[in-house]
Amino acid sequence: MAKELAGQVALVTGAARGIGAAVAQEFAAQGAAVLLADYDLAGAEQAALAIESTGGRALAYEMDVRRPEQWRCAVEAAVERWGGLNLLVNNAGFDRPGGVQKVSLDHWRQVLEVHLTACLVGMQSVTPAMQEAGGGRIVNLSSVYAKIGGHGEAAYSAAKAGIVGLTKSAARELARYNILVNAVLPGLTDTPAIRQMMSDKIRDRIIAETPLRRLGEPREIAAVIVFLCGPGASFVTGAAWEVSGGWNM
């Protein structure tokens, strides 16, 4: 059976663990070569080795998504290694909880810079290579909080909502180059960050509000991202896909 992403080259940020690592694994399983970019180089190397151990093509790359020059170097590394760049998944992120009345401006700026500004810089950095390749796919990771807001999550919710708007603008502007841009909005997902940072009380409350009554798995988010990057989504752009177990119904 032909692999859906054979011959494609992908760049995935925040790829050392969680959703990013799952996306990189699924891309490689579908035939793509994957550059796994992460601030945590050791974690990215471990994830890349796991891909290579099953016959996939992967390269770990240390990158701070806040630095435009590091984006340029990552794109150059992918093009030099595999001859082009076709796919981008803007997944890197982190959180600094705080409500509207209490979040510090420093934390606000940090969260928006890593999520929203880096998403813009990433798209600016990859589009020349995608134009050269005759088109491409970009998937930006947002969150259900973009639509419903999160109690005590002012900066995170604002950044994720901004990503949806930015995705739609990019989709309109880049369609003429055959670059399709979509957003994926996960619900609560069983990642290392959630296990480490979220209290059992909050996790259980969200699960109770989710019709499927469970956390999502990273591979379930990755499956939707792979679809959006594959041939079955050739007429899909500017969309915001919720993958949340029905949390926002």
Using one digit for the tens of pLDDT, what is the confidence trace for 156-168?
999 999 999 999 9
What's the average pLDDT block by block, 10 residues per block, for the chain (249 residues)? Answer: 92 97 98 98 98 98 97 98 98 90 95 97 98 98 95 94 98 98 95 82 91 95 98 98 93
Task: Find the catalytic residue in 39, 61, 145, 156.
Answer: 156
* Rounded alpha-carbon distances, angstroms, from residue 161 to 23, 124, 150, 224, 237: 22, 19, 11, 19, 17
Using one digit for the tens of pLDDT, what is the confidence trace for 29-63?
999 999 999 999 999 999 999 999 999 999 999 99
Q: Which domains does the chain have, with CATH numbers?
A: 9-241 (3.40.50.720)
| Whether 177 is catalytic | no
Distance CA 116, CA 109 (A): 10
Beta-bridge mates of residue 35:
11, 59
Tell me if residue 141 falls in helix, strand or coil.
strand
pTM score over 0.85: yes
